Structure 1
Amino acid sequence: MGARARPGPHDDGAASSRPPRRSLAALLVLALLALGACDREVDLEPPRPDDVAVGRDDSGAQRVLDRFVGALAQGDEDAVLATAAPDARSLLGAVATNAQALRLDKLSLRYVDDVAVTGAERDRWGRAAWAATVELRFGLRGLDQRAARVDTRVLLVPAGGEVRIAGFGGAGADRTPLWLTGPTTVVRTPRTLVEVAGDTAGRYPGLVTRAVTQVRRTLPGWDGPLVVEVPRDQAALEAAVSAPEGEYDAIAAVTTTVDGSTRRGAPVRVYVNPGVFGDLRPQGAQVVMSHEAAHVATGASFTSVPTWLLEGFADAVALRDAGVPVQTAAAQVLERIRSDGLPDGLPSREDLDPRASDLGATYEEAWLACRFVADEFGQAALVRLYDAVSAGTPVRRAFVDQLGVTQAEFVSRWRADLASLAGVAR
């Protein structure tokens, strides 16, 4: 019965007459557990961590998810509410309304695995509450070519002998679409859609309509679709796009795919950061919205265009004939040039990272590069340059093919233009 210990320096290799201390302790615990179980005739379970649900029911979870999806697809709000936990009826009622307004299509929810429940969720929903990661597929009828696929989080509770839905998102969720978070206002046209958290769409529909018109002045072949989402705050934005906390502190809006995919045809959205965007005056807000619409129009989410060209081109589209003097639109970078001197070259990817310092000035610098292309070589040449690079032509070759100059020659002439605008010696 004794365990054999590994021979040590003074061990002759014979079997020990007693087990090692840790083995003896384990045997004593097992013996005591066995006696307790036999005497009381109870089943013993290993202890559970605090964040593991005691009410977990995988098959019940999938059943309620299927019922929820079916009810949304049929537009049956009563059936949606029948899947809700007692205190979650208001939320699921809002989700049902959102789904109808958005005209959700290709909808499915597939249970993947259970995930941790927070202490706050336990306090509100009870110890039997549990959470699951689910694969969510959905699209917008008439606007999305194919469904997005995201992993999100669903909070579940047992109620009335079955599993009910208590909420969506929260700690551990990969992405939480806006339509699952609460009441939203949806304004839709044949080729645009605006979804805003809360009970009013505010100024956003007008901004979107004008953005489409502005982009079509440079890219007349584009007619949408353009879908814009405005979460209630930056935290909800970060949850929608799976961004680290604080990454978009200085960003008014971002264009990306719903599921993070770079495959062409994936649904694309403009996500607005309401805290930053809300501080913009009307003209600035319009420039930002037109800038993001230009990203959508050029398929920026699916290309590897250098960041200076990607962002500078979008600003060139947004600011074209917008009536903003260059000394105003480029005030930050011109002041930087006056204090720090001319840039040595075009802005790098790192210079234009959302967390980079002096980001506003660097965006203006990228715009001035594209503005110089349009001024010196023509608006059509700027579009050709962008299209060539987007199609895979190396930037240095595209300069020669589309503009007839080398990149070094372009940078030299552009720096001279910057010096003139800033009123400094080259």
Structure 2
Amino acid sequence: MAGRGRVSGSGVVALCLLFVSLVACGGRSAADGAAADVQRTLHRRAAAVLDRDRAAFERTGAPSWFGNLAAVPLAHWSYRLTALHRTGDRATADAELRYRLEGYDHAPVTVGRTLGLSRQDDGRWYVDSDRPARKSAQQLWDQGEVLVVRGAHSLVMGVGQSREALRGYADLADRAVPAVSGAWGTRWPRRVVVLVPGSLEAMARLLGSPASSYRGIAAVTTGETGAPARAPADRITVNPDAYGLLGPLGRQVVLTHETTHVATRADTNAATPMWLSEGYADWVGYRGSGRTPAQTAPELARAVREGRVPDRLPDDEDFGFSGDASRLARAYESGWTACRLIAERWGEAGLGEFYRAVGAHGKRAGAVREAMRTVLGTTPEEFTAQWRDHLRDRLG
């Protein structure tokens, strides 16, 4: 009789047979084996995308959006399987897609994807569907064939747009980049990526938010605030519905404004109030335009003429799109006039130094007060009083 703690040879065989569906005796679990097989399929799929090899891609799964990527300049594309939910020869996989745009992204963009798979007769797993994960935004190629136009300082990618229209965006972006450098300096990448979807609804799907959040907003810049030098490039995503209503000056101001957000991103963080980040971007956008304060800030000018001079600079909440377009306009115009006042009294260099000093504080509490003390030699209370006088003088 076998002693305690020992199992006979025949007992080992019996145990292996009993649990063979879960554990390969002396080897890996069946679940681990399936996951490894799926990961290999995803490696082959990623290699096919980078090699532009449609036949190899189709051997891993349905063609899906492969053709939509043909013009997109990719330097990296990979999948990392994070979970596998298998039922027999069918499975659903959660994965991280990491991709990098050649010449623009210093690090890969990471997005969540959900893949439907089936196991074929040869034992390989085949991708039947590849879509954004739940709560993850679409990518541009999920929406259709991507057209690409390169500018001197820009990469413009669009779906549902003509090449001529995309060239117009590239021309505006190419003028925006040196304009921003002239105000902020040249210590930023000095390149921008512009995404132009086919509609407001398509824009919202790229940003993962309801379309109502962007109605009336011409463009949005997304990126990591306070980002290190090696990070994915910010994306300027255009709302073609609102952008199409603007005149030539308005379109240039919008692209310059958004490009300013790209340039200032490393110095923008939780310490930076929106009146400063949005006001500075508008100040750069309108810099050199020749427009008067009343022309640039019509809603605020109307309020001042009616005796409704703001008693404070706008809070972050004032920049939320609540359906009151006038309130939102006054918030942006208030930020612009505050930055304009700093540039007039302390110089353009002083405005840039103030912006950087606020961001260097790292946290909101005390950031503006400390930067006003060290850079401008004033206090928020004194500055607010000066700003209100400035509004009465320039807009009254």
Choose from 184, 202, 209 the match for 1:243.
209
Q: Is the 8 A contact 1:169 1:175 kept in 2?
A: no
Q: Is the 8 A contact 1:111 1:135 kept in 2?
A: yes
Q: Is the 8 A contact 1:216 1:223 kept in 2?
A: no
The residue aligned with 2:24 is: none
Choose from 170, 174, 180 the match for 1:205.
170
The residue aligned with 1:379 is: 348
- Take 2:174 and 2:55, find their aligned partners in 1: how far apart are those partners? 35
Choose from 278, 283, 288 the match for 2:244.
278
- Take 1:362 and 1:272, find their aligned partners in 2: how far apart are those partners? 21
The residue aligned with 2:336 is: 367
Q: Is the 8 A contact 1:152 1:175 kept in 2?
A: no
The residue aligned with 2:295 is: 328
- Take 2:100 and 2:231, find their aligned partners in 1: how far apart are those partners? 10
How far residue 166 of structure 1 moved from its aligned partner, in angstroms, is: 4.7
How far residue 366 of structure 1 moved from its aligned partner, in angstroms, is: 0.8
CA offset digits 1:143-162 (Å, max 9, x no partner): 22111222133455667865
Structure 1 residues 243-392: aligned runs within 5 Å = 243-257=209-223, 263-264=227-228, 265-267=230-232, 268-299=234-265, 302-304=268-270, 305-339=272-306, 341-355=308-322, 357=324, 358-392=327-361
- Take 1:70 and 1:282, find their aligned partners in 2: how far apart are those partners? 43
The residue aligned with 2:184 is: 219
1:174 aligns with 2:121: no
CA offset digits 1:260-298 (Å, max 9, x no partner): 686423312111122222222221111011001001111
- Take 1:323 and 1:216, find their aligned partners in 2: how far apart are those partners? 19
The residue aligned with 1:83 is: 60
Is the partner of 2:178 in helix, strand or coil? helix
Deviates further, 288-297 or 215-224: 215-224
Q: Is the 8 A contact 1:133 1:173 kept in 2?
A: no
The residue aligned with 2:45 is: 68
The verdict on how the C-alpha distance between 1:198 and 1:325 changes in structure 2, with shifts beyond 3 A counting, is same
Structure 1 residues 118-197: aligned runs within 5 Å = 132-156=93-117, 163-169=125-131, 172-189=134-151, 191-197=153-159
How far residue 405 of structure 1 moved from its aligned partner, in angstroms, is: 2.0
RMSD, aligned CA: 2.8
Q: Is the 8 A contact 1:256 1:301 kept in 2?
A: no
CA offset digits 1:14-39 (Å, max 9, x no partner): xxxxxxxxxxxxxxxxxxxxxxxxxx
Q: Is the 8 A contact 2:283 2:339 kept in 1?
A: yes
The verdict on how the C-alpha distance between 1:290 and 1:129 changes in structure 2, with shifts beyond 3 A counting, is farther
Q: Is the 8 A contact 2:274 2:319 kept in 1?
A: yes
Deviates further, 367-376 or 226-235: 226-235
Q: Structure 1: 5+ residue runs without aligned partners? A: 1-56, 116-127
Is the partner of 2:390 in helix, strand or coil? helix
Q: Is the 8 A contact 1:152 1:176 kept in 2?
A: no
Structure 1 residues 96-107: aligned runs within 5 Å = 97-98=70-71, 101-102=72-73, 104-107=74-77
Give TM-score, length-normalised by structure 2.
0.78
Aligned residues: 347
The verdict on how the C-alpha distance between 1:230 and 1:395 changes in structure 2, with shifts beyond 3 A counting, is same
Q: Is the 8 A contact 2:64 2:129 kept in 1?
A: no
The residue aligned with 1:396 is: 369
The residue aligned with 2:22 is: none
- Take 1:261 and 1:321, find their aligned partners in 2: how far apart are those partners? 27
Structure with higher Rg: it is: 1
Q: Output the amino acid matched with 2:50.
A: A
CA offset digits 1:50-85 (Å, max 9, x no partner): xxxxxxx76664343222101112222332243342
CA offset digits 1:312-349 (Å, max 9, x no partner): 01111111001223222111221233346111111111
Q: Output the amino acid matched with 1:319.
A: Y
The residue aligned with 1:22 is: none
Q: Structure 2: 5+ residue runs without aligned partners? A: 1-33
1:234 aligns with 2:200: yes
1:93 aligns with 2:67: yes
Give TM-score, length-normalised by structure 1.
0.73
- Take 1:112 and 1:340, find their aligned partners in 2: how far apart are those partners? 59
Q: Is the 8 A contact 2:49 2:66 kept in 1?
A: no
1:417 aligns with 2:387: no
- Take 1:386 and 1:343, find their aligned partners in 2: how far apart are those partners? 22
- Take 1:401 and 1:261, find their aligned partners in 2: how far apart are those partners? 23
- Take 1:420 and 1:302, find their aligned partners in 2: how far apart are those partners? 31
Q: Output the amino acid matched with 1:422.
A: L
Once the two structures are aligned, what percentage of the paired residues are identical?
Answer: 34
Is the partner of 1:391 in helix, strand or coil? helix
CA offset digits 1:140-187 (Å, max 9, x no partner): 222221112221334556678654445543672513221343211112
